[in-house]
C-alpha cells in the first residue's frame, strides 16, 4: 500500500507540472502574437482572415524582438531651450480687451452694451457721425475803385468807297496835336507826358508803319481813351470828341461810335452821361 501511494503521488505531480508548463507557454505566445490572443478569446470571437505567411512572420518578429529607443524609460526627459528665442517677461498681468491705456498710462474701462438693439446702435452711430454742412459761398467781391476802368471808342471813316492817302492822313493827325509814338500808334499827350487818348488804324492789327505809311491808303481810323486817365474823365471825352470832329472835317469823313453808328447829338449826350456816372463811381 505504501508503494502504490508513492506512485500515485508522483504521477499527480508530473501531471500538475505538465499543466503548469502548458499554461505558461500559451500565455507567452498570446502576449507576443496578437493573432494568438484573438484566437484564445473564445468561440464567439470573430477570427480575422489569415494573413500571408511573410506578413505574419514579420509581425511576429517585430513583436518578439526588443526595440532600442535610445533613452531609458526610467530616465526623465530633458528639453533644451537654448536654441529658442527668449520669451519676454510681462511686467503686468494680461488684460482683457475691455480695458485700454489712456495717454497718461492709466487703465480706463470701456463699457460695451452687448444687449443693445440694432436700431439703437444705428441711431447712436448717426448721432456720433459728424454733420457735414456746405460751406457758405463767398460773397461776390465788389471791384475796388482802382480796378474800375472804362474804354470809350470812336471812329472816323471815309464816306462811301473813298480812301485817304497816307500823306493826307499824316497831315490831319499832326494838325490835331497827335504824335506818332509807342505801340506804333498816334497819341494825344497830357501835360505830364502821359497819353490822354490814342489813334489807330481800323485795319488789323491797328498799327501804322511809319516807313510806308505815306504810300498806303486808309478807309478809317479808331480813337480810344482809357478812363480814368491823366486828366478828368469828362474833360478827356470832350477832347476825344473834339479831335474826332476835327479829323472828320479835314478828311471829309463821318464820326461814328464803336458799333459804326453815326454820332448824333443825342448819342453824344448819352455818352457824356455815361462818363459822368462812371466818374461818380470813382469819387
User: Could you report the per-residue pLDDT of 142-170, keeping only the tens digit for each?
Assistant: 555 556 899 999 999 999 899 999 999 99
Q: Please enumerate in sequence order all residues whose Cβ is within 8 A of that of 279, keeping only pairs 6 or more positions apart, or say none.
A: 228, 232, 233, 234
Question: Mean pLDDT across the stretch 128-134?
Answer: 53
Number of neighbours of residue 93 by Cβ within 10 angstroms: 5
Residue 74 domain-assigned?
A: no
Domain that holds residue 161: 149-282
The more confident residue out of 108 and 281 is 281
Residue 187 domain-assigned?
A: yes
Residue 107 domain-assigned?
A: no
How many separate domains does the chain show?
1
Q: What is the CATH number of the domain that holds 188?
A: 3.30.1400.10
Residue 238 domain-assigned?
A: yes
Residue 223 domain-assigned?
A: yes
Determine if the pTM surpasses 0.85. Answer: no
- Report helix, strand or coil for 158: strand
The more confident residue out of 8 and 135 is 8
Residue 12 domain-assigned?
A: no
Residue 69 domain-assigned?
A: no
Amino acid at each position: 500500500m505504501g508503494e502504490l501511494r508513492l506512485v500515485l503521488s508522483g504521477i499527480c505531480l508530473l501531471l500538475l507540472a505538465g499543466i503548469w508548463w502548458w499554461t505558461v507557454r500559451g500565455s507567452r505566445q498570446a502576449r507576443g502574437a496578437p493573432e494568438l490572443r484573438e484566437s484564445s478569446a473564445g468561440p464567439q470571437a470573430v477570427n480575422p482572415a489569415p494573413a500571408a505567411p511573410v506578413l505574419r512572420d514579420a509581425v511576429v518578429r517585430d513583436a518578439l524582438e526588443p526595440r532600442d529607443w535610445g533613452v531609458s524609460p526610467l530616465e526623465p526627459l530633458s528639453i533644451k531651450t537654448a536654441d529658442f528665442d527668449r520669451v519676454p517677461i510681462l511686467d503686468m498681468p494680461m488684460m482683457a480687451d475691455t480695458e485700454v491705456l489712456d495717454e497718461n498710462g492709466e487703465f480706463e474701462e470701456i463699457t460695451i452694451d452687448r444687449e443693445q438693439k440694432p436700431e439703437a446702435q444705428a441711431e447712436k452711430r448717426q448721432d456720433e457721425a459728424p454733420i457735414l454742412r456746405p460751406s457758405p459761398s463767398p460773397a461776390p467781391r465788389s471791384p475796388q475803385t482802382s480796378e474800375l476802368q472804362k474804354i470809350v471808342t470812336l471812329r472816323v471813316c471815309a464816306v462811301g468807297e473813298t480812301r485817304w492817302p497816307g500823306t493826307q492822313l499824316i497831315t490831319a493827325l499832326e494838325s490835331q496835336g497827335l504824335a506818332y509814338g509807342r505801340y506804333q500808334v498816334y497819341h494825344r499827350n497830357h501835360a505830364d507826358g502821359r497819353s490822354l487818348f490814342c489813334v489807330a488804324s481800323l485795319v488789323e492789327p491797328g498799327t501804322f508803319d511809319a516807313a510806308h505809311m505815306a504810300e498806303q491808303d486808309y478807309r478809317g481810323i479808331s480813337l480810344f481813351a482809357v478812363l480814368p486817365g491823366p486828366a478828368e474823365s469828362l474833360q478827356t471825352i470832350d477832347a476825344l470828341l473834339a479831335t474826332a470832329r476835327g479829323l472828320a472835317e479835314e478828311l471829309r469823313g463821318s464820326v461814328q461810335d464803336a458799333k459804326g453808328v453815326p454820332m448824333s447829338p443825342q448819342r453824344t449826350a448819352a455818352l457824356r452821361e455815361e462818363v459822368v456816372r462812371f466818374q461818380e463811381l470813382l469819387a
